[in-house]
Amino acid sequence: MSTSLDPVSDDVEVTDNIHENQYLTFLLGDEEYGVDILRVQEIRGWDSVTTIPNAPAFIKGVINLRGTIVSILDLRERFGIESVDYNELTVVVVLRVKGEGKDRIMGVVVDAVSEVYHIAENDLKDPPDLGYAINMDYMKGMATVDNKMVSILDIDQLMSLKDIDDATESGGKAGA
Amino acid sequence: MSIDMSQFHEAFFEESFEGLGIMESELLTLDVGAGDVEIINTIFRAAHSIKGGAGTFGFMNVSEFTHVMETLLDEMRDGSRGVTQFAVDSLLGSVDVLRTMLEAARDNTEVDEEMVAARYAVLNKILKEEASDSSSVDDVESVPPADPSVSNSVGEGWVISFIPHTDLLMAGNDPVRMFRALTELGELSAKIDSSNLPPFTELVPEDLYLSWVLTLTGDVSKAGIEEVFEWVEDDCDLTITPLVGNTQNEQAVAEPAAVVEPVAVSTVAPASVKEKVSDNSAANQVAEKKKPATKPKKATESASIRVGIDKVDEIINLVGELVITQSMLDQVGEDLEAHAETASVGGDSGSQKINADILLRLNKGLAQLERNTRELQDGVMRIRMLPISFVFSRMPRLVHDLSAKLNKKIDLQVSGEETELDKTVMENIGDPLVHLVRNALDHGIETPDIRLAAGKPETGILTLNAYHQGGNVIIEIKDDGAGINKARVRAKAIEKGIIAEGDSLTDDEINHLIFAPGFSTAEVVSDVSGRGVGMDVVKTSITKLGGRVVVQSEEGKGSVFTIRLPLTLAILDGQLVTVGGESYVIPLIAIIESLQVDRTQINAVAGKAEVYKLRDEYIPIIRARAVFGVEDNKADLHESLMVIVEVDGSPVGIIVDELQGQQQVVIKSLETNYRKVETMSGATILGDGTVALIWDVNGMVSVHKKKLNNGVIKA
């Protein structure tokens, strides 16, 4: 958390022919996750949402983002991690998601925003197969920064409408 | 020369289809026998613009075809040909062919050449009938410079021999400009004579060595040509002689041998000297040659809209007022700031007076802002509004064709064409309306002999009317035909299993059976209507637009179909309700009434579904909390609030927690950033900035049914 940008850049070996990407990381409990910073539209504090009836549990609802209706997804519930009460540190990362032929804007509820890291493409390691623990499609790779592990997420997979649709159907039946 | 013309294609097609619409409607108003010159002129002008545009954009088949139509129209206009029913009908047919050709050009698809050829044959046959009368076919108007096909026509014209003196250019004259002026008068072709051109070494750049022989076709006066050359008549040898012979080619042969090469002066008609014959095969060849040249283009409907300049001006005015209000409020803010500084020194009665004054101005400014905002909203909404005549104008043609086919005499009366409606609603209401009109003609109005036998006038009257009522547009389709035969509808509905034998139905309910899926009473299935899908589809499409359709009918007297549509799809009148702590909007158009539940009127059916006895009918009860999966602690519904909505023509009661106010809401899509929610038609943003979802009552009912069947809900 205290690491500033410069030492991070020093940690990562930068050579001219290595393509580097910037990632915004955030925390879920003790775990740190990163997303491509170019996909981040804005970061805002948690504010109350309007719930959508019969939506999957990880869809918290919709908010008014300057006139457009944007749905909010709880990442803890998406991963099946034990959920916590939202507090003043809870933030919503608004992301641009690609897929199904058009871009969508969706918000993700996380515990707190952490850092911006430069990570070279070849420092991104394929995640080991964790079996049923987490769907590997959501992972783009893993990187080590300051001896900490950061999981880089593939948000297009993570927030695909197909998953929401599947969850909605089962949610609809199990509702009430 | 490298301007990409395809960027203008969309506008051209849009205009052309508009022109076709005008031609069609005017042709229908044209009285056989006595052709009103004004009407023919209007048709002519529409055809002429299409021809000109098609020529410019290289749709030669369209331009050639229009030209033949134009020739016929021109003869009608100058009285050399009578306005016969046959001629009008074939012109109407030609309009259809032209539309097909334009559509093919737009979508870059093949034209049915046989159809075009057949239509050419009909038109040429009419033209030949009285060919001797058509000596003066082409006047100035009918011979645009842009149209290459015109050179084959029998026309008047002039041969201009223009031999400028070598010092013509010195006076600042430009032959090209003069030729351009000539093209305004008629079809111009030019032959250049460069035999006087000296060897390059002796050439003086400022001298003019060239001379021209110009051929100008069209009904042009000699004085008009002389006017063009007025400024140079002393600097050149000019002879103007009347054109002899019909085609330019003959003329070309007759020209002196010194002619080097033909130079087309007209900027848009490079092919003007090329031989053009208007017989079928040649025209088709041209059409075929041109086709691959047209650029591939998306076949999608254009998403543009033509807005009247007055509407745009109005919005500009409103924005101007908004700016004034803004600066006024700005001033109030500054005054308040300045006053706050001085007031902090001493709070005497004087400063209180200033405070009150500022407050007054602030309130006034806010009131003004509110008015500006509302007016601006209305103004912007009006941009999307089009007069319903866009749809109504299709009807005269339909009635004309159908009445001939069905051997019925029908008088179509249209009113309220200027009623404005949202563009999207308009695009989607066309087909249902056409279907209702067809239906009225086919099933409603009787044949003349039956009408006479029934003591009615021979000619049936079909009335189309549109008007505004509240925030809705009402469209009425009324006929004075046979009306709905209730006994037959009833028998048919029982046969199709839509109702049971013993069901007791009111007259109104029987009338509405015609909207049931799979219902058709026509004894003979014609290609006009009677496949039993129509009325069902009509109802579905109108419901999709957030509207309703009802029918009133009296046997022997006729039927009235009334369509009620929302003015726009962007804003709706809603009733705010709360369920489980969330606010929702129910579209007002769906609500019949709201009431407080009386326990004694609730009954359970099969221990599951609840029904409510409302006056003398039983309506199903749906608990909104159960549908939304919100915990429901009210076992007893006594004194709960119930909103009665109409779903597929029958009332359904939905239990809500609280009823709040009614308000207009702006509809936002949920699907843009999320997915379709079955129970919701969209979302809106309330005054406090929070989001409220808008109910789709049909979806509510179907989700309720699903949950009941899955045993998720127990009553």
> Could you write out the DSSP letters of every residue in B220-243?
--HHHHHHHTGGGTTSEEEEEEE-
For residues B303 and B422, give the distance between their C-alpha atoms in angstroms, rounded to a whole number: 14
pLDDT of residue A61: 92
Q: Give residues with Cβ within 8 angstroms of B86, minimum separation 6.
A: B126
In terms of Cβ atoms closer than 10 Å to its own Cβ (0-12, 13-18, 19+), residue B352 is: exposed
Residue B619, classed as helix, strand or coil, is strand
Q: Is A103:B672 a contact under the CB 8 Å cutoff?
A: no
CATH of span B571-709: 2.30.30.40
* CB neighbourhood size of B348 (10 A): 9
Q: How far is CA B358 from the centre of its chain?
A: 51
Q: pTM higher than 0.80, yes or no?
A: no
pLDDT tens-digit series, residues B682-694: 899 888 888 999 9
pLDDT tens-digit series, residues A38-50: 999 999 998 889 9
Q: Which of residues 110-169 of A touch B (CB under 8 A)?
A: 161, 164-165, 168
Q: Which residues pair with A94 in a beta bridge?
A: A42, A107
**Where is average pLDDT lowest: A154-163, B152-161, B445-454?**
B152-161
Helix B6-29 to helix B395-406 angle (10° resolution) is: 50
Q: Is the pLDDT of residue A35 over 90?
A: yes
The chain B residue lying nearest A171, using CA atoms, is B629
ipTM of the complex: 0.79
* Separation of first and last alpha carbons in chain A: 42
CATH 3.30.565.10 fits B387-566, yes or no: yes
User: Among all chains, which residue has been given the structure tokens 């000596």?
Assistant: B135
* Separation of first and last alpha carbons in chain B: 77
Q: Is B106:B13 a contact under the CB 8 Å cutoff?
A: yes
Average pLDDT, chain B: 77
Q: Is B691:A64 a contact under the CB 8 Å cutoff?
A: yes
Q: Is B269:B51 a contact under the CB 8 Å cutoff?
A: no
Inspect the interface and report whether the beta carbons of B683 and A62 lie closer than 8 Å.
yes
Q: Is the pLDDT of residue B535 over 50?
A: yes
Q: How far is CA A63 from CA A41, B235, B468, B603, B691, in A?
A: 15, 80, 35, 40, 6
Q: Is the pLDDT of residue A142 over 70?
A: yes
The chain B residue lying nearest A176, using CA atoms, is B629
Decide the pairing of beta strands A20-28 and A112-120. antiparallel
Instruction: Report the gap between the CA of A124 and the closest CA in chain B (Å).
Output: 30
Q: Is the pLDDT of residue B279 over 50?
A: no
Inspect the interface and report whether the beta carbons of B673 and A165 lie closer than 8 Å.
no
pLDDT of residue B206: 74
Widest CA span of chain A, in angstroms? 58
Question: Residue type for A146, please?
Answer: D
For residues B676 and B232, give the distance between their C-alpha atoms in angstroms, rounded to a whole number: 74
For residues B623 and B602, give the distance between their C-alpha atoms in angstroms, rounded to a whole number: 13
Q: Which of residues 609-638 of B touch A (CB under 8 A)?
A: 626-630, 632
pLDDT of residue B348: 65
List the domain boundaries for chain B. Answer: 6-134, 154-277, 310-381, 387-566, 571-709
Homologous superfamily (CATH) of A5-167 is CheA-289, Domain 4 (2.40.50.180)
Mean pLDDT calculated for residue range A59-83: 88
pLDDT of residue B185: 76
A57 touches chain B (CB under 8 A): no
pLDDT of residue B250: 43
Instruction: Report the gap between the CA of A73 and the closest CA in chain B (Å).
Output: 11
pLDDT tens-digit series, residues B518-533: 676 554 444 444 444 5
3-class secondary structure for A109-137?
EECEEEEEEEEEHHHCECCCCCHHHCCHH
The two tokens of residue B371 are: 């008015």
Selecting from B626, B678, B685 the residue whose C-beta is nearest the C-beta of A67 gives B685
pLDDT of residue B37: 77
Q: Is A65:A128 a contact under the CB 8 Å cutoff?
A: no
Instruction: Report the gap between the CA of B689 and the closest CA in chain A (Å).
Output: 7
**CATH number, domain B6-134, options 1.20.120.160, 1.20.1260.10, 1.10.3720.10, 3.40.50.12780:** 1.20.120.160
List the domain boundaries for chain A. Answer: 5-167
In terms of Cβ atoms closer than 10 Å to its own Cβ (0-12, 13-18, 19+), residue A50 is: buried
For residues B76 and B342, give the distance between their C-alpha atoms in angstroms, rounded to a whole number: 85
Q: How far is CA A153 from CA A124, B82, B137, B603, in A?
A: 11, 79, 76, 54
Among candidates B533, B547, B473, B484, which has minimal Cα distance to B512? B484
Selecting from A53, A70, A168 the residue whose C-beta is nearest the C-beta of B627 gives A53
Active site residues of B: 48, 70, 439
Decide the pairing of beta strands B385-387 and B420-422. antiparallel
Inspect the interface and report whether the beta carbons of B677 and A53 lie closer than 8 Å.
yes
For residues B23 and B77, give the distance between their C-alpha atoms in angstroms, rounded to a whole number: 14
Q: Is B191:B213 a contact under the CB 8 Å cutoff?
A: yes
Q: Is B603:B610 a contact under the CB 8 Å cutoff?
A: yes
Inspect the interface and report whether the beta carbons of A173 and B712 lie closer than 8 Å.
yes
Among candidates B681, B416, B419, which has minimal Cα distance to B543? B681
For residues B68 and B64, give the distance between their C-alpha atoms in angstroms, rounded to a whole number: 7
For residues B7 and B14, give the distance between their C-alpha atoms in angstroms, rounded to a whole number: 13
pLDDT band at B269 (very low <50, low <70, confident <90, very high): very low
Q: Is B656:B624 a contact under the CB 8 Å cutoff?
A: yes
- Identify the top-confidence range among B50-64, B226-240, B342-356: B50-64
Write out chain A residues lying below 8 Å of B630, CB-based.
Answer: 53, 176
Q: Which of B625, B673, B702 to mutate to probe the A interface, most A CBs <10 Å?
A: B673
A50 touches chain B (CB under 8 A): yes
Q: How far is CA B32 from CA A57, B70, B94, B200, in A?
A: 72, 18, 17, 67
Q: Which residues pair with B473 in a beta bridge?
A: B468, B565
Mean pLDDT calculated for residue range B84-94: 82
B713 touches chain A (CB under 8 A): yes
Mean pLDDT calculated for residue range B654-670: 88
Q: Give residues with Cβ within 8 angstroms of A73, minimum separation 6.
A: A58, A59, A60, A106, A107, A108, A109, A159
Mean pLDDT calculated for residue range B192-218: 79
Which one is predicted more confidently, B341 or B325?
A: B325
Phi and psi, residue B22, nearest 5°: -65, -50
Q: Return the H-helix or E-strand segment holding B664.
A: strand B658-666
CATH of span B154-277: 3.30.70
Q: What DSSP letter does each residue of B452-494 carry, written as one string? A: HHTT--SSEEEEEEEEEETTEEEEEEEE-S----HHHHHHHHH
pLDDT band at B498 (very low <50, low <70, confident <90, very high): confident
Write out chain A residues lying below 8 Å of B627, CB-based.
Answer: 53
Q: Which residues pair with B682 in a beta bridge?
A: B694
For residues A52 and B579, give the distance between their C-alpha atoms in angstroms, rounded to a whole number: 12
pLDDT band at A11 (very low <50, low <70, confident <90, very high): very low
Q: Is the pLDDT of residue B632 over 50?
A: yes
For residues B659 and B641, give the distance between their C-alpha atoms in angstroms, rounded to a whole number: 7
pLDDT tens-digit series, residues B357-416: 888 889 988 988 988 888 888 888 888 888 888 888 888 888 888 888 888 888 889 998
Among candidates B111, B106, B112, which has minimal Cα distance to B296? B106
Q: How far is CA B73 from the centre of its chain?
A: 26
Write out chain B residues lying below 8 Å of A64, CB-based.
Answer: 685, 689-691
